Structure 1
Amino acid sequence: MTIIKNTLFFIFILFYSFSALSEQTVEEIIKERKSIFSKNYKTAKRVQGLASNGNLDEAKILMIEMSDNYTRLLDLFPENSKTGFKTEALPAIWENKDEFNLLMTKASSNMIELTSAIDGAEDVKATLGKYMWGSCKACHSKFRAEH
C-alpha cells in the first residue's frame, strides 16, 4: 500500500511540476532560477555563519531548504530559456543536460548528507567546503558565465 501511495504522490508532483512550468513565461523561468541561485548563495553564507558558531540545528534547516531549491532548479532550464533576461547560464547546460542535472541532484543530496556530516565534524569549514561550497564550484566552473 505504501508503494502505491508513494507512486501516486510522485505522479502528482511530476504532473504538477510540468503543469506549473508550462504556464510560466521564459522571463518568469529565468527570473525564478536566478532568484533561487541567489537565495542559495545567501543561505549558504548563513549556513556557514551558523555552523561556525555552533548553531547546527538552525543551519540544518537551511541546508534542507537549499536541498529543496536544487531539486526545483531541475525544472527551470527548458530549451526555450537559453538566452535573455540577463541569464548567466552557459549553453553548456543544454549541451550537457544530463551532467548538469546530475550536478543539481548531487548538490541536493550533498546538502542532505551535510545535515549528518556536520554533527561529527572536527573541521566545520572543511566539511562545508566539501559538501556545500564544492557543489557550487563544480557547477559554476562549467555552467555559469563569469561575472
Structure 2
Amino acid sequence: MNPSVISALAALVGAAIGGLTSVLASWLTQRTQVRAEWRAHDRARRQELYKEFIEEATNCYVDALQHNEPNLPALGNLYAKIGRMRVWSSREVADEADVIGRKIVDTYLAPDKTFIEIREMLADGSIDILGKFGDVCRAEFDSLRAQQF
C-alpha cells in the first residue's frame, strides 16, 4: 500500500474520530443542561403547589374551626391540589396532604371552637395540622437535591 494513502486514511480517521468526539461532547452537555433545567422547573412547580396547598388548607381549617357548614368551593380547590400532588409528588407527600384534607372535613363536623379553645389548641400544639406535611415535603426536596449529584 502506498504510504501517502495510509497517511491520508489516518488523517481522515483522525478527523472523523475528532468530529464524533465533539458531537458526543456537545450532546452530553446539552442533555445535562436540559435535565438540570427540568429538575429546577419541577422543584419550582412543586414548591408553588405546596405553598398554595398550605395557604388553602389553612384557610379551610380556620373556616372549619369556626363553622359547621363547609365551604365547598374552597374544599374543592383543596382537593384539586391534592390531586395534582398525586401526579407530581411522592406518595408520602400526597398521602399526608390527603390526611390534612380529611382532618379539615372532620373539623367541620365537630362543634365550633371558641377563642379560648383555639388558644388552648395553640398552647398544646394540636392546632398544627400542617407540621408533618412540611416535614414530608422537606424530605422530598432533600431527596430531589441528592439525586442531582
TM-score range for the pair, normalised by the shorter chain length: 0.3 to 0.5
Output the TM-score relative to the length of structure 2: 0.44
The structure where helix makes up a greater share of residues is 2
Output the TM-score relative to the length of structure 1: 0.45
Q: Which has the larger radius of gyration?
A: 2
